[in-house]
Structure 1
C-alpha cells in the first residue's frame, strides 16, 4: 500500500457512528479499512486521537478562474475541502465563442477579477473542464445560463425564442454530455436576467433529459415577470420535473422559517426532488455592476461603459439605481469594496457609503464612478448591521436548516480580491464549530459536508470513507476545529484541520500546503 492512516477515529460520511480503525490507500483508492499491524506502507500517518473523514465537498463556489491561476487553492485546502463545484449563480465561461471571451471576463471581473493574461482560451465545455484538471483539489462544474445565452444571443435584452432558443438548447445538451453536473441560473445577473419563464422551462427540459441538477439564484422581485421569483421556480419544476437546488435560500429577517418551504409543499408532496442550500454567514458578496439596472447592462462591455459615462443617461441611471438598491440592501445597509482593478486602491476595505461621503456624492454616484474608474472590476462584501436579537434568530434558523435533510451547506466562495468574504476561508470549519457547540452528532455533521453533496451532484466514488472509493481524506482535531477568518482579517487559516489527501496524495500535512497538485476535473457520472 502507498498510505496507511493509523488509529484514527473514522467518521465515514455515511451517517454511521464513529469507529477506530486504520485506513489503507493504494494509488488513489481506499483499499482497506481495519487494523493493519504488520502491513507496510510508503507513508504512515499517525491519526491517533484525530478524526478521519472524507474530504469535504463544497457545492457552491465561484473559484474556477482563481483555480486556473493559483492551483494550490489554499482557501479550500485549509478547510479540508477536496472537491468544489463551480459555475453557480448563472456565472460561468463555457461554452464560449472567441469574440465573447474578453467581454465575458470584463463584465464579470467584479467577482472573478480580470485574469485574462493567465488563461488559455477555450470554446467547448469539455475544453474548459480539461483546464480544471491538475489543481490541489478536484473540480466539477455546472454549465451556466449566462454562457448558454451568450452562445445563442450574445448580450441582448430579450428572452430566447425560435432559432436562438434552439441554439441554446443544443449548446446546453452538448455541455451536459461533456460532463456538466447541471445548469445554474443567476436571474439577478445578465444576460441571464433577460430570460422569461418559458425559456427556463425549455432549457430545464434538456437538464432533465440528462438527469442534471437545476441550481437557482432567484430573480429580483421587481415585477419583471407575472410570477414571484419563487413561484417561477415552482412552475419550472412542475412543467419539467427537473431536480431543483435553491442556492443560498434562507431567512433574512424575522419571517418564519416555514415560509421558505411553503411554495414547494405541493410539489414535494407529489414527489418532486427539491433541495436547498445556505452558507453560515448573514451577509454575502457580489458584483457591484449588479447594482446597475438591466437596460444599462445590455450589449457588452463597451456599450455598458458608454452608458455609465453618458451625461444624457445619467439622471435616468441614477433614478433606476435608487429603485434597484432596495433589492440588494436593507434600509441602513451598505457594503465594503473588496475588488478593484488596482490591488493597492485606497477604496479597498472602505464602505461605499464612506467613499461617497469622502467624494461628496450619492451612493449611486459613487457606484458609477467606481465602475468607470475600474473598468467594471469592482466587487463588494456585505456589512453585518443586524441587531443582536436578529442575529440570534438568523443563526437559530441556520441551525434548523442544517438539520433539515433537504439542505446542504455551500460556501458561495469568491476567492478573488485582496480582501475576500471570510466564507472563502471559514465556511466549513465555522459550520463544524457552530454545530458542535449545539451538540449535533459528529457523524451527522460530516455526512452533511461529504456524502450528501456528493449524492446531490452525482459525484461518483466521492464523499465516503469506504473500500473502493476515491481516497479523498481529511484528518482533523474535531474539538479544536473553528474558523478564524473575520470581515477585517479575511484570509486566515482555520484551526483544527490538520491534513488533507486528494486522490491518495497529501496536499496538506500538519497544516502546511505540500505543493502537490493531485486534483482532477470531475464529470457527472
Structure 2
C-alpha cells in the first residue's frame, strides 16, 4: 500500500499511557493510517530516529482570541507540537461585541493578558457582532491548527448590561436571563464552554476589574442554566479563591445542577489566600458529592522576568527609580553605573502601593531567596544555591546589591527569574502526584498572551 507520508524509526508516544515504542507511522491526507513496521511505500519519507512521534497537543488555556482572526499559524504554540488551541479563557474575548465596544474590549484584553492593543486594533476586522458570527469569522480563516473558543463573561456582561455590566454593577433577573440566552446561543453555535474571571489581578488597561469578577452565585448559576439548555459546555474560571467567597460551594452546585464540568486554575503560591493542597481537597470534597470539577495546573514555575528594561525590577517601588526608569538605554545604563546613584537606590526604602500589588512589590524588593539569575542555558528548576540570596552571601554583599549588579551586567541586559507560582518549595516535586491524578489537567500556557516582560 502507498501512503502520502511515512515517519520512520521514531519513538512513538501514542497518548494512551502505554510505554513508548519504536515504530513507523503512515499518514494519508489528514489521517494516521497505520502504525508498525514494513508499512509499505510513501510519497514522502521522514526519518525520525532519536525523535519522539506523538499526537498533536491540545492546549486548553490560550488567549489567541484576536490573533486567531488574522493569523493562520497560532505561533508560537504551533511551533511546539500544539495542534488545537482553546481560547476565550478567563472571561475575556471579543464576542459578543457591540460596535461601540470594540476599543473597550481591546483595552480589557490588553490589560488582563498583556497583548498590545495596537496589534489587536490593526489586526481585527470586526466582521462580527454576535458570538455565532465570531465563530463564522474564525471558520472562514485557513488554519495550520484547529481552534476552539469559549463565551467570555466580560464581553457578555458588557453586551447585555452596557456600562452597568462593565462596571460590575448587580444584574437584574432579566439581565441574567439574557446573558444565559447568549451563552446558550454561543454553545449551540459551536463554542466549547463559558469562562469568567474572579481575580483582582485581572484588570483592563484602565485599571477596571473584568466584568463578572464580583458576580454573585445567583448570576453564575443563572448562566449555568443556559449551559444546561445547550446540553454541553465547560465552565472555566480564574479565581483568587478567597475563603470567604466559598467558591467551591457554588462550583459544586453549578456542576451538579447544570450537568457541566467546571474547571479552575489551581496554583501554588505564597500570595494566594488558599494553599494548593487545600484547593485540591475542596475540589475533591465537592466531587465526592457528585460534582465534576477539574483543576487546571501548570507543570513549571510561572512568574516574572525582572530587569532594568522590563515592567518590574526589585527597585521599581523606590522613589529614585523614577530618575532612571524612562531614560533611553544608553542614558539609563550611564545612570545605573553611577556609584552614587547605585548607593542611593539600594539604601532607599520602597514605597509600595496600597493595592493588590503591595505583596508582589514586597516580594520583588526583598525575597531574593525566590529570585534566580537568568543566565544562558538556565534550568527552570533552579536550586537554592542558584538563588540571588545564596549568590549574594557568597559574594559578601546584600541581595539587593547582587541583583543590581546582575541586571547592570551585559550592558544593562541582565535578567532575574522570579517564579511567583508553583515554586514555593524551591522545586517542582509537588507536581508529580498531581500530574498522575485524573482530576488535574496540564494547562495554563497562556499562549498568545503576556507579550511584554
What TM-score does the superposition give when structure 2 sets the normalisation length?
0.66
Partners in 1 of 2:185 and 2:105 — Cα distance? 20
Give the match for residue 102 of structure 2. 101
Q: CA deviation at 1:42?
A: 2.3
Task: Show structure 1 runs of 5+ residues with no match.
Answer: 289-319, 335-380, 421-525
Give the match for residue 8 of structure 2. 6
List aligned pairs for 1:430-449, cutoff 5 A. none
Give the match for residue 157 of structure 1. 168
CA contact (8 A) 1:82 1:138 kept: yes
SS at match of 1:176: helix
Considering only CA atoms, is the larger Rg found in Structure 1 or Structure 2? 2
Indicate which of 256, 260, 264 corresponds to 2:283: 264
Q: CA deviation at 1:182?
A: 0.7
List aligned pairs for 1:353-432, cutoff 5 A. 384=418, 390-393=424-427, 395-416=428-449, 419=452
Give the match for residue 37 of structure 2. 35
Given the superposition, is the C-alpha separation of residues 47 and 412 from structure 1 closer, same or farther in structure 2, using an over 3 Å criterion? Answer: closer
CA contact (8 A) 1:219 1:229 kept: no
SS at match of 1:172: helix
CA contact (8 A) 1:157 1:191 kept: yes
Indicate which of 126, 137, 144 corresponds to 2:152: 144
Q: CA deviation at 1:157?
A: 2.7
CA contact (8 A) 1:173 1:206 kept: yes
List aligned pairs for 1:51-450, cutoff 5 A. 51-110=52-111, 111=113, 112-114=115-117, 115-121=120-126, 122-132=128-138, 133-154=141-162, 155-188=166-199, 189=202, 190-209=210-229, 210-219=231-240, 221=242, 227-247=245-265, 249-253=266-270, 257-284=276-303, 322-326=354-358, 329=360, 331-333=362-364, 384=418, 390-393=424-427, 395-416=428-449, 419=452
CA contact (8 A) 1:67 1:135 kept: no
CA contact (8 A) 1:186 1:219 kept: no
CA contact (8 A) 1:284 1:382 kept: no
Given the superposition, is the C-alpha separation of residues 385 and 176 from structure 1 closer, same or farther in structure 2, using an over 3 Å criterion? Answer: closer
Partners in 2 of 1:84 and 1:43 — Cα distance? 28
SS at match of 2:72: coil
CA contact (8 A) 1:113 1:416 kept: no
SS at match of 1:134: coil
Q: CA deviation at 1:147?
A: 1.6
Q: CA deviation at 1:87?
A: 0.6
Given the superposition, is the C-alpha separation of residues 125 and 325 from structure 1 closer, same or farther in structure 2, using an over 3 Å criterion? Answer: same
Given the superposition, is the C-alpha separation of residues 417 and 14 from structure 1 closer, same or farther in structure 2, using an over 3 Å criterion? Answer: closer
SS at match of 2:66: helix
Give the match for residue 393 of structure 2. none
Given the superposition, is the C-alpha separation of residues 140 and 285 from structure 1 closer, same or farther in structure 2, using an over 3 Å criterion? Answer: farther
CA contact (8 A) 2:11 2:51 kept: yes
RMSD: 3.3
CA contact (8 A) 2:255 2:261 kept: yes
Partners in 1 of 2:49 and 2:198 — Cα distance? 48
Higher relative contact order (CA 8 A, sep 6+): 1
Partners in 2 of 1:146 and 1:388 — Cα distance? 27
Q: How many residues align?
A: 337
